[in-house]
Amino acid sequence: MDNNSERMRDIEKMAVLGNLLAGIGHELRTPLSAIISNNDSFERSCKRVTDILARVVEKLDSTSRNELNEILENIENINESNKAATRHMLAVLNALRNFSRGDDVKMVRTDVNECLKTTLTIAGHELKGRIDVDANYGDIPMIMGNPNQLTQVFMNIIINSAQAIAANGKISIKTVKADDDVVVKIADDGNG
C-alpha cells in the first residue's frame, strides 16, 4: 500500500471516528443534562428539608440530632460529588465534540493551551491512576492553526508517552513563548 492510499485510509477512519464520537456525545448529553437538572432540584429540596428540620431539631434527643446531622451531611457530600462528576462528564463530552469536528475548522486563531487541555481530557482514561501529568501552561499568544489537527498531534504524542511508560510514571508538558514562536515541550519518563 502506498503512502497516499494509507493516508486516505487514515483520513476515512478519522472521519468515521469523528462521526461516531459526535453521535455518542449527543446521545450522552441529553441524559446528562437531565441528571444535572435533577441534581439541582434535589439540592433545592434538601435545603428546604434542612430548613424545616432546623425548626424541630431542638425537640430531638442528642443521639437523634447527631444522627440527623450526619445524614444531612452525607446527603450534602453526595450531592457535591454528583456535581463534580457531572462537570467532569460535561468536560469530556465537550472535548469529544471539539475533537470530533475533524477538519471542519481550517486555520483560525487557536489557543494551544486549550488544545492541550482538550487532549488531556480525552486521554484521561489512558493516564488515570498510573501517570501523573505536570502541565505548566505558559502565558502564550494565540496562533493561526487548526485546533483539531493540533489536538490530534498532541493526542498521538500523549498516547505514545503513556504507552512508553511501563508502570507508573510522569508526563511533563510545558508551553512557552520564544520570540515570536510558541513552543510546546512534552517529555515522559518512560523507556521510549
pLDDT tens profile 52-69? 888 887 788 888 888 888
Check if the beta carbon of residue 131 is closer than 8 Å to that of residue 168: yes
Residue 102, pLDDT > 60, answer no
Mean pLDDT confidence for 124-134: 85
Residue 1, pLDDT > 90, answer no
How would residue 87 be classed by pLDDT, with cut points 50, 70 and 90? confident
What is the Cα 7 distance to its own chain's centre? Answer: 29
pLDDT at 171: 92
C-alpha cell at 134: 505536570
Residue 105, pLDDT > 60, answer no
Residue 14, pLDDT > 70, answer no
Mean pLDDT confidence for 36-49: 86
Strand arrangement, sheet containing 169-178: 131-137, 169-178, 181-188
Higher pLDDT, 104 or 112: 112
Check if the beta carbon of residue 137 is closer than 8 Å to that of residue 113: yes
Q: How far apart are CA 21 and CA 93, in angstroms?
A: 9
Q: How far apart are CA 89 and CA 84, in angstroms?
A: 9
Percentage of residues in the chain with pLDDT exceeding 90?
Answer: 16
Percentage of residues in the chain with pLDDT exceeding 70?
Answer: 84
- The span from the first CA to the last CA of the chain, in angstroms, equals 27
pLDDT at 151: 83
